[in-house]
Amino acid sequence: MSLKPLCAAALALLPLAAVAQDSGASPVTKDRSLRAAPGTPITVITDLPDVIYEGRLVEPGTQAASASSASMLAPRISPIPPQRPRRLAAVGEGQRRAGAPLPEQPRPELQAMTQGEQQAGRTTCTSYERVIQIVDLIERGETQDALRAAVPCLEQLGASRDVIAMASLAGGLDDLLGEETISAAPIRSFAETGTLTLDHNEQTVTLQQSYETPVVIAFVATERGGQPVNVRVTEASGNDLTLRLQEPNYLDGTHADERVNYLVVEAGTWILPDGTFIEAGVLDSNLLSPQGFKTVQFDAAFDGTPVILSQVQTSNGPDFVTTRQRDADATGFELTMQEEEALNDGGHTAERLGWVAIEAGSGRSGNISWLSGRGSGVTHSGGSVGLGARVDGGVNVIAALSSFAGGNTAWARGRGSTDTAFEIFVEEDESQDDETEHASETVDFFVFDGAGTLGAYDYDDFRE
């Protein structure tokens, strides 16, 4: 499959037009006819990083290339959010050669390996030129560019230890990166993405790898069946994932085929080769939203509020149930469950809830290109998030409500996607009444370009 890097797509996210607003129209009836016109824009509020393409910096909001030529763009440097202090000093034991002379060479412009060079196995990270470039940038105080040059080398562990160890002799890099080090730490396959067609019947998916504590996030990306619906995980263990579509109790439970996108992550804290933090975890709870929320505290050192996705991981209670989130910041968030509106004041059997937090941005890990972000102004009417560049095979999105502006039972649902955008809305059920208007919510999303696996460093490798 020919895939355009989603890094390119990030360039057009920031300048999207105004927020989709509540029109104040009459309540939605069961024909669910009140919705925004296709293409109604949703404001993306995430501060996404600059990306360097083919040796030139493309500012956020600038079109990198036409859709027809987007496939020719390969990010030379993995995107790093501004002011992101990296904690990856690839200094192996014995690599600190105090007083080792640095070669006197010209200091050329910053260069980085292209994707093609990586695939060809070239070891440009070992060159003295790269060391001098990093040292030069550190000395000039351009630490973020130094990291942009150094971090991609981490994928070539044997080379990267020499490069960053030598650069460290100039001083400054240790203070920037912190005390943790990579000492030939392995990159581990820790997550995977996929898509499937799903209805109300249980379906078991054989995953590409086995997990000790899998955290599953699944999202209904289409609206082929007009009734409200969400994904219910029945079981996830080892390399098996069983799930189905679940309608609220007041409906007959039979639902048309929908496209479902999923992400499976091993519980823990992970660092992608470009330095992006991802954390996944689980907790047990029987709380519904009227009874309160559970507090989740992150283990990862996020610099800002990450993109957060959540999902009920079990089917201990048969009633329809979904997760709701609120009050997220760099240290954690709050999480609860909601049953259908007519039953949400009651109780629910304890379930296991799973969540995944990832820094907003874009990149490539393993064989997956990804983009994560946050959109505001999402209501029952819905809207569109445009990616600005074409992605062969279509856009695969997973999304979750990350705010709690409206207390009625609600969840995020897709209305399909093209190769340049996806449609999303806030869905309510009609168990208590026919009114399904919902307040403006914030939606966190994760976009990927196909089925595959992601690789990262285990954060535990850097703990004392």
**Last residue of one domain, picked from the residues 134, 166, 181:** 181
- Distance of alpha carbon 164 from alpha carbon 190, whole angstroms: 26
Domain boundary among 181, 202, 220: 181
Q: Are residues 383 and 341 part of one domain?
A: yes
| pLDDT tens digits for range 166-215 | 444 444 444 444 444 444 568 899 999 999 999 999 999 999 999 999 99
Note down the domain range covering 94. 89-181
pLDDT of amino acid 367: 83
Write down the pLDDT at residue 144.
Answer: 54
Whether 58 maps to a domain, the answer reads: no
Is residue 417 one of the residues assigned to a domain? yes
pLDDT beyond 90 at 255: yes
Query: What would the pLDDT profile of 390-420 be if each residue is shown by its tens digit?
Result: 666 568 999 999 999 999 999 999 999 988 8
**163 plus 206 within the same structural domain:** no
139 shares its domain with 217: no
Looking at the structure, tell me whether residues 193 and 174 fall in a common domain: no
What is the edge-to-edge ordering of all strands in the sheet holding 321-326?
A: 294-297, 332-339, 321-326
Report the pLDDT averaged over residues 11-32: 30
Residue 250 confidence (pLDDT) above 50: yes
Of the candidates 57, 41, 53, 43, the one whose C-alpha atom is nearest the C-alpha of residue 14 is 43
Distance of CA 265 to the CA centre of its chain: 11
Q: How far apart are the first and last CA of the chain?
A: 42
Note the residue count of the chain: 464
Residue 408, pLDDT score? 95
CA distance 149 to 176: 14
Q: What is the pLDDT of residue 167?
A: 45
How many domains, the chain?
2
What's the whole-number average pLDDT of the chain?
71
Note whether 216 and 255 are same-domain residues: yes
User: Which of these three, 153, 181, 209, is where a domain ends?
Assistant: 181
Over range 354-371, report the average pLDDT. Answer: 90
> Is pLDDT at 388 greater than 70 in this prediction?
no
Low-confidence winner among 27-36, 91-100, 454-463 (lowest mean pLDDT): 91-100
Over the stretch 273-323, which tens digit does the pLDDT of each residue have?
877 899 999 999 999 999 999 999 999 878 899 999 999 999 999 999 999
Asked whether the predicted pLDDT for residue 87 surpasses 60, the reply is no
201 shares a domain with 167: no
Residue 146 pLDDT class (50, 70, 90 cuts): low
Residue 46 is predicted with a pLDDT of 47
Say yes or no: 215 and 156 in one domain: no
pLDDT digits (tens, 9 = 90+) for 429-458: 999 998 889 999 999 999 998 999 999 988
The pLDDT of residue 394: 67
- pLDDT of the residue at 397: 96
Identify the CA nearest to 386 among candidates 69, 49, 75, 8: 8
pLDDT for 21: 30
Same domain, 373 and 443: yes
Q: Are residues 327 and 419 in the same domain?
A: yes
Q: Judge contact between 261 and 193, C-beta under 8 A.
A: yes
- Alpha helices (runs of H) in 217-372, residue ranges in sequence order: none
Q: pLDDT class for 41, splitting at 50, 70, 90? A: low
Q: Which residues contact 184 (CB under 8 A, 6 or more apart)?
A: 92, 157, 158, 161
